[in-house]
Structure 1
Amino acid sequence: MTDASWPAPPVVDRATWQAEIDELRAREKANTRERDAIAAARRRLPMVAVDAATPLHGPDGTTSLLDAFEGRRQLLAYFFMWHPGHPAAEQCGGCTWCASQVRELSYLHSRDITFAILCKGPYAESVRYRDFLGWQTPWYGVPELSRTSLLVGRDPSMMFIVCYLREGDQVFETYWTTRRGVEELDNSYALMDLTPYGRQETWQDVPPGWPQQEWQHAGGNLDGRPIPHWPRLAEGWSDRLDG
């Protein structure tokens, strides 16, 4: 994955280096303030009612969207793409990237937020994928009719983050995002963006000669599989999804 012949940034004295960082820092601070302003506007959005009884499939059989809140006031749901009947190696690299980032949930719980993955596929098959990857995130299968109801007006084949608010037994949708918006789940890309070579993806603006490659899917596949598969296989975990 690396090559000693890759070009590197120019070497300068520390004062010159710090001056350029200070200039960039002003832009970073402006970006932070704009992100805060956008978040403030997001908190002021109206909301729309959804059917709290929308069925989901979970570890105890058929359940509901309301139950997925686990008694908390807010639900942050990631809608995971799924290819029924396909082996683990052919499941979505982008969704695997997103779901693999969210591990510690106690910080969300402390703010009355439940995080759950709503998989657009059969529960029994897809939950084996979660278990193969060692995730502990609450996981539900979303029947096709429920997908139509919960993602009304949106392409159900895409990945989404959707935020819900519970008022007693009523549920409301407050916000949703897709495409680059799902990077809010990620820390790996954010850390890559701090490094000299960044994400090494072909769409990025980089100096001439900087390393770039075309990943097979958003989030990255390596040798035909989503990247998080490889360490689990090396530990001896089975990726069979057929029971």
Structure 2
Amino acid sequence: MTDHASALPPATDHAPALPPVTDRAAFEAEIDKLRVREKAHTREGDAIAAARRRLPMVEVDGGLELTGPDGPTTLLDAFEGRRQLLAYYFMWHPGHPAAEQCEGCTWCASQVRELSYLHSRDITYAVLCQGPYEQSRRYRDFMGWDMPWYSALPSLERLLVGRHVGMMHLVSYLRDGDRVFETWWTTLRGVEQMDNSYRLMDLTAYGRQELWEDSPEGWPQGQGEPAEDIRLRTDGRPIPHWPRLAAGHSDDLG
């Protein structure tokens, strides 16, 4: 049986190239040089986060309607009584089967599993799907996710005012009593801040193995599916589907 859970094979039948071999002293010298840049990158990330904490905020109607497990609810209710809310706006292709749902959003949502650390800082994390609740909830159940899940369809245009509805977004909200404010948002590669798989890949010799990367000649950089420069699908599905199907989970969205 094909191991669908693995990534796509390299685009060549030949063994990939290897980094040059050196002795321990020369290896550590190169690590030390790179470490200077890594520490500068960390400090710049800290400085950007500090600037993010100083951004102004804009008020949002906390009564905007969402759909949850018990029917209509509100953005304010999605805070679950906590002070802050991080909401991921999951893209959705209405009427399409599970295999054709967004591989990028499947990747993002798969990264956020343990919520107790967020809760300890008075933060709720929730997915606000851009599709119908019942259909998208079945997708969540197929994937084995247990984060709070809502449909944002009733209020999507107002929640993402001035932005591209239908695209992945990550939005931060702050609650002051019954008043709700938006404090920051991002989209496209900005949502990589949710990720750990890519972060770990970036630490390896071959990296993410995607076409856009600046890698040495002969490094594996497999083609995506369909032809694109990222590798989040294999054999016609988002990569995390295969172990769920192998475990007998149903991907019927109803």
Q: Do Structure 1 and Structure 2 share a fold, with TM-score over 0.5?
A: yes
1:90 and 2:100 aligned: yes
Aligned-partner Cα distance in 1 for 2:99–2:134: 17
1:229 and 2:241 aligned: yes
Is contact 2:210–2:231 with CA below 8 Å preserved after alignment? no
Equivalences, count: 241
Q: Which amino acid aligns with 1:54?
A: L
What's the offset of the Cα at 1:215? 1.8
Aligned-partner Cα distance in 1 for 2:16–2:223: 17
What's the offset of the Cα at 1:5? 1.1
1:99 and 2:109 aligned: yes
Partner of 1:68: 78
Partner of 1:162: 171
Is contact 2:56–2:183 with CA below 8 Å preserved after alignment? yes
TM-score by length of 1: 0.97
TM-score by length of 2: 0.93
Is contact 2:222–2:231 with CA below 8 Å preserved after alignment? no
Q: Which amino acid aligns with 2:191?
A: V
Q: Deviations over 1:21-49 (max 9, x none)?
A: 00000000000000000000000000000
Q: Deviations over 1:64-103 (max 9, x none)?
A: 0000000000000000000111100000000000000100
SS in 2 for 1:114: strand
Relative to 1, partners in 2 of residues 1:66 and 1:219: Cα closer, same or farther, differing over 3 Å? farther
Is contact 2:17–2:219 with CA below 8 Å preserved after alignment? yes
For structure 2, the residue ranges without an aligned partner over 5 or more in a row are: 1-8
Is contact 1:202–1:213 with CA below 8 Å preserved after alignment? yes
Partner of 2:224: 215
For structure 1, the residue ranges without an aligned partner over 5 or more in a row are: none
SS in 2 for 1:40: helix
Aligned-partner Cα distance in 1 for 2:31–2:57: 41
SS in 1 for 2:95: coil
Choose 217-226 or 119-128, whichever is displaced more.
217-226
Aligned-partner Cα distance in 1 for 2:138–2:223: 29
What's the offset of the Cα at 1:227? 0.5
Partner of 2:194: 185
- Which of 132, 137, 140 does residue 127 from structure 1 map onto? 137
- Which of 185, 188, 195 does residue 176 from structure 1 map onto? 185
What's the offset of the Cα at 1:213? 2.1
Partner of 2:30: 20
What's the offset of the Cα at 1:157? 1.4
What's the offset of the Cα at 1:142? 1.0
Aligned-partner Cα distance in 1 for 2:165–2:224: 23
Q: Which amino acid aligns with 1:136?
A: D
Percent of pairs with identical residues: 70
